[in-house]
Structure 1
Amino acid sequence: MSEQHKSNLSVIEQEAIAWIQKLASGHASADDIAGADRWRTQDAEHSKAYADAERVWERMSVIGRVKYGDDANFLGPLQEYGRRRAVMTRRAVLGAGVASIGAATIYGAMRPPLGLWPSLSEMRADFRTGTGEQRTIAFADDVEIALNTQTSLAVWPPTDTEDRIELVSGEAAFATLKRVSRTLAVFAADGKILSQSSRFEIRCTGGNNRVSVTCLEGQLRVESAARVAELKAGQRFSYEGSDVSAIDAVDPQAVSEWRRGIVTFHNTPLAEAVEEMNRYRPGRIILRGDALGRRLLSGRFRTDQMEQALVQIEYTFKSRVTRYPGGIVVLS
């Protein structure tokens, strides 16, 4: 990384890049992995810097490999981009620093374009479910957590008053109804959810940092970068950096349908529906054509029978379905 790029990054951002580089080098030891986890779980600022560095690493390495080849060095193209823009945001500068490492070094350690294997953070999580898998775990003796498909949780060191865990990605339901003296703190992207006696669900999917928090019973406190929200049963709040939603009313039964093995689409753009289907189905469904992606899908399907959804899509939209080995399906 050039000195010019370093000067635009905070110390924490530089350290996050260094940890990602070490873990993706192929030479990381068990001590290195443990050290990265200790660094990442110090607080929300370290966790966010780590997630930002990893996310930019993954995206830029995929784009650069396709555009510039295996031996590409992305620093040149990004510097040219920087000259065309008068001002680069901090996130863009972070991307330049991370992306200056060659794609060949990183590619095997991150998520490929089709999303066929988990990212570094997901692979190093303490608890993880695979595609189509759901499981329930006990945490800190009196907390029950149900993990939906493709969900990763990382345990953080506890404090004097909090048991702490991070939703790295995916969707999970938490029950803390027996808690009295200690608080459960769940970190998700750049926010924090606090609970003592409640049932709630958190969702963070789709390859971005959009987090949706739903209170099913009791009360919750959600601390995001832009706002603190107090939730009661039947309320939902979403955040992504400084972008937050209003607190809206939801049907708790509908929110929790995944726990009964059901996924429902109601006038859902097909592009969004396909992304949800890919969470439950081995392989990958690839959608070709923006017009097709904007078509609206409605239906109620079992999560273990996504092939029925494909049949409905084929007949409803008169689309062409082409199947390839490994569960790859192209809709056009």
Structure 2
Amino acid sequence: MNIFSISSPRASADQQLLSEARDWLVLLTSGRATAADARALRQWCARSPGHAAAFEQAKALWHGLQPAAQRLEQQARFRTFGRRAFLGGALAASAALFMVRLTVPGGFAGLTADFSTEVGEQRRVDLADGVSLELNTQTRISRRERGVGEQGIELLEGEVEVFSQGVQALKVQAGEGWLSARQARFNLRNTERQVCVTCIEGSLQVEVAGRSIGLDSGRQLTYDERGVGQPVAVDPHAVIAWREQVLVFDDATLDTVVREINRYRPGMLVLLNAELGKRKVQARFYLDQLAGVALLIRDAYGAKCTELPGGVVLLS
């Protein structure tokens, strides 16, 4: 009788994929997963049928372990805290410093922002000299002074609608660009390393990459580290629909819709099906409906929903 067991290369490869799939689940439920992580997971699952099967197996194992994990958690509540608890707290504090950079809009700079909002929160801020700000969800803004007598702010992360009716021009920094406006109303967004500015009323000037670009009402400009786009005509009312607690999508891909919804709700929707992500969407979602949006996507597009801890929902 042969008492030795030799794993085949195929078995070893399958175990490796399952291990990687479990790592993905740990990241998703850790509270520090980003939109980029969600896209990377989808690409990972699409690499081969074996990758997709490994992730499905890891999900099944995860759900099978949940009852046991809940029992252990209940037992832990009755235990006294000793040296292990102290060390665990110290490690958690160290991990928290690392997670700040990944999860707080604007990173460490976001912690010192003068004005901020959390997930799903919107807030109005009145500055001096006829300037007011309407901050959207997950937004961080700091005051900036560019010159003597010039009022300025920097949008570190998120989205803001700006009203400028002052005598002096308002200077706004977003990414690598500066905006200048005196009598204007505009929407400014800085998310996923891309800046998008839309002139709602009046006019403004954008200085970026050595260029000076003027925007009038109904014109929009985007720029990032790869370059500066051309001004395009847009519907300004659709851009600022969030002010009315509505998200408007006009022929957007489902992937774009999911990324936008993730800005407004706790947890994360993770779209695993690349073909599903390409489907076009024409829809309006009220912000108070977003808790059940995964079910709406399931019913409308036939997606499979898998719920994980921390508000994470996998769509496949």
- Bin the TM-score by the shorter chain: 0.5 to 0.7
* Structure 1 position 331, deviation (Å): 1.0
Shifted more, 216-225 versus 322-331: the winner is: 322-331
Kept after mapping to 2: 8 A contact 1:132/1:304: no
Q: How many residues align?
A: 227
Kept after mapping to 2: 8 A contact 1:128/1:150: yes
Kept after mapping to 2: 8 A contact 1:202/1:212: yes
Task: Indicate yes or no: 2:155 matched with 1:191.
Answer: no
Residues 4-25 of structure 1 show CA distances to partners (whole Å, capped at 9, x for unaligned) of xxxxxxxxxxxxxxxxxxxxxx
Task: Indicate yes or no: 2:248 matched with 1:260.
Answer: no
Which amino acid in structure 2 is aligned with residue 240 of structure 1?
Answer: D
What is the SS of the residue equivalent to 1:121?
A: helix
* Structure 1 position 130, deviation (Å): 0.6
Residues 67-124 of structure 1 show CA distances to partners (whole Å, capped at 9, x for unaligned) of xxxxxxxxxxxxxxxxxxxxxxxxxxxxxxxxxxxxx9985334589x6554322222
Which amino acid in structure 1 is aligned with residue 234 of structure 2?
Answer: V
Task: Indicate yes or no: 2:230 matched with 1:246.
Answer: yes
* Structure 1 position 295, deviation (Å): 2.3
Kept after mapping to 2: 8 A contact 1:199/1:215: yes
Rounded Cα–Cα distance in structure 1 between residues aligned with 2:304 and 2:103: 23
Query: Can you give the 5+ residue segments of structure 1 that lack an aligned partner in the other structure?
Result: 1-58, 64-103
Kept after mapping to 2: 8 A contact 1:215/1:231: yes
Distance 1:301 1:219, change over 3 A: same
What is the SS of the residue equivalent to 2:256?
A: helix
Kept after mapping to 2: 8 A contact 1:277/1:306: yes
Rounded Cα–Cα distance in structure 2 between residues aligned with 1:232 and 1:284: 36
Rounded Cα–Cα distance in structure 1 between residues aligned with 2:306 and 2:133: 38
1:1-332 superposed matches below 5 A: 108-111=96-99, 117-118=104-105, 119-157=107-145, 159-177=147-165, 179-180=166-167, 182-205=168-191, 207-208=192-193, 210-241=194-225, 243-332=227-316
Which amino acid in structure 2 is aligned with residue 159 of structure 1?
Answer: G
Residues 293-312 of structure 1 show CA distances to partners (whole Å, capped at 9, x for unaligned) of 22222210102211343222
Kept after mapping to 2: 8 A contact 1:158/1:164: yes
More strand by share: 2
Kept after mapping to 2: 8 A contact 1:169/1:204: yes
Kept after mapping to 2: 8 A contact 1:301/1:308: no
Rounded Cα–Cα distance in structure 1 between residues aligned with 2:266 and 2:190: 20
Distance 1:110 1:216, change over 3 A: farther
Which amino acid in structure 2 is aligned with residue 264 of structure 1?
Answer: V
Whichever of the two has the greater Rg, that structure is 2
Which amino acid in structure 2 is aligned with residue 283 of structure 1?
Answer: G
Query: Can you give the 5+ residue segments of structure 2 that lack an aligned partner in the other structure?
Result: 1-35, 41-91
What is the aligned-residue identity percentage? 36
Rounded Cα–Cα distance in structure 2 between residues aligned with 1:212 and 1:185: 16
Distance 1:188 1:260, change over 3 A: same
Distance 1:148 1:202, change over 3 A: same
Residues 151-210 of structure 1 show CA distances to partners (whole Å, capped at 9, x for unaligned) of 110112363131111000111011112x12x221000000000011111110111x22x1
Which amino acid in structure 1 is aligned with residue 289 of structure 2?
Answer: Q
Q: CA RMSD in A?
A: 2.5
TM-score normalised by structure 1 residue count: 0.63
What is the SS of the residue equivalent to 2:215?
A: strand
Kept after mapping to 2: 8 A contact 1:227/1:244: no
